[in-house]
């Protein structure tokens, strides 16, 4: 039998471009060449599509390549990628693809919409408000808050505001990336991440919880400067572990996620509080999700294989 041809897309038109390139390169290198024929495609910051040799091919050329493949792995984090954009392209082209569909990607990328969905299924979120540019002057200091763009990833534009004078600059930083901003009360608790994977047979696997220990907020700098302490598995009793796993599955299902997603929580004195959901999390071998599943006995190449086989089983259209 011929090997399935897998298109791996990296890059993208957003602030997570470099991270996406790293994830895609790692995925392409780790897919077993005995099992899969890997074809790489890239998207420049300006939207130019490039083939495996780095030549510009345009969207028409990229679609020609994609149509020659059996399945697509759109390893593009953030807007114009993870937000359902590339899923929509695959849907229109009739191509099976790895990851969540259009609706789930769009909902999960929108942090305000995610909060509404989570609250509707009984999962707590941080108290907060949605702020538009027109209403920014009405935001008053009420205490420590976290300011973040509604639709951005890797903590770009996120600020921990501890003093009144920091509020206006934090809003300005967030508004450079989005026209809608969240201002949330600071949640005091442990940062606990869980990963949910749908296997090809439809069953789900929740990886061991991972705790992130930082001094302050897990912002853009601490995500990539090596200062964060990742503890895997997180030290949790059975009651806490079950509550977090149940909450992760509830949010994953309510959003309509597929493939793999990372669901981030704060574990507080009152229980689990949802932070956000990533439907295309970092996917290098050293990233959180692959590390979580490796700890569950699913090594990186096997995880990628499950994602590809799951997409092939599901077929095009969600």
CATH of domain 128-185: 3.30.1490.20
Same fold, 5-98 and 128-185: no
Mean pLDDT of the chain: 93
CATH of domain 106-125+188-314: 3.30.470.20
Topology given in CATH for the domain delimited by 5-98: Rossmann fold (3.40.50)
Q: What is the pLDDT of residues 114-153, one digit of tens each?
A: 999 999 999 999 999 999 999 999 999 999 999 999 998 7
Q: What is the pLDDT of residues 300-313, one digit of tens each?
A: 999 999 999 999 99
Distance of CA 252 to the CA centre of its chain: 12
Under a CB-based contact definition with an 8 Å cutoff, are residues 9 and 24 in contact?
A: yes
Q: How far is CA 271 from CA 121, 242, 245, 261, in A?
A: 15, 11, 12, 21
Q: Where are the domains of the chain?
A: 5-98, 106-125+188-314, 128-185
pTM for this structure?
0.92
Q: What is the pLDDT of residues 238-250, one digit of tens each?
A: 999 999 999 999 9
The predicted structure's pLDDT at residue 246: 98
The predicted structure's pLDDT at residue 70: 97
The predicted structure's pLDDT at residue 223: 54
Instruction: Give Cβ neighbours of residue 108 (< 8 Å, ≥ 6 apart).
Output: 82, 100, 114, 255, 257, 261, 276, 277, 278, 279
């Amino acid at each position: 039998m011929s090997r399935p041809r897998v298109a791996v897309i990296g890059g993208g038109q957003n602030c997570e471009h470099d991270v996406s390139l790293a994830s895609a390169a790692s995925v392409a290198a780790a897919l077993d060449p005995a099992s899969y024929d890997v074809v790489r495609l890239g998207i420049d910051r300006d939207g130019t599509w490039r083939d495996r040799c780095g030549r510009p091919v345009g969207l028409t050329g990229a679609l020609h390549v994609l149509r020659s493949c059996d399945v697509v792995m759109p390893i593009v984090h953030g807007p114009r990628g993870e937000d359902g954009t590339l899923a929509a392209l695959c849907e229109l082209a009739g191509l099976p693809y790895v990851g969540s569909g259009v609706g789930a990607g769009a909902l999960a990328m929108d942090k305000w919409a995610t909060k509404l969905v989570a609250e509707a299924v009984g999962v707590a979120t941080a108290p907060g408000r949605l702020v538009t540019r027109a209403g920014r002057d009405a935001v008053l200091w009420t205490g420590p808050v976290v300011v973040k763009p509604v639709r951005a990833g890797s903590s770009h534009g996120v600020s921990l505001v501890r003093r009144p004078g920091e509020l206006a600059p934090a809003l300005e930083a967030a508004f450079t990336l989005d026209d809608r901003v969240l201002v949330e009360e600071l949640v005091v608790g442990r940062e606990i991440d869980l990963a949910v994977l749908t296997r090809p047979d439809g069953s789900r696997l929740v990886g061991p919880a991972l705790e992130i220990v930082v001094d302050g907020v897990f912002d853009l700098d601490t995500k990539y400067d090596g200062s964060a302490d990742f503890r895997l598995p997180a030290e949790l009793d059975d009651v806490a572990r079950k509550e977090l796993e149940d909450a992760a599955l509830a949010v994953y299902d309510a959003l309509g996620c597929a493939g793999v997603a990372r669901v981030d929580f704060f574990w507080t004195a009152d229980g689990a509080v949802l932070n956000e959901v990533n439907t295309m999390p970092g996917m290098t071998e050293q990233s959180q999700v692959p590390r979580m599943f490796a700890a569950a006995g699913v090594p990186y190449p096997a995880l990628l294989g499950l994602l590809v086989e799951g997409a092939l089983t599901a077929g095009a259209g969600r």
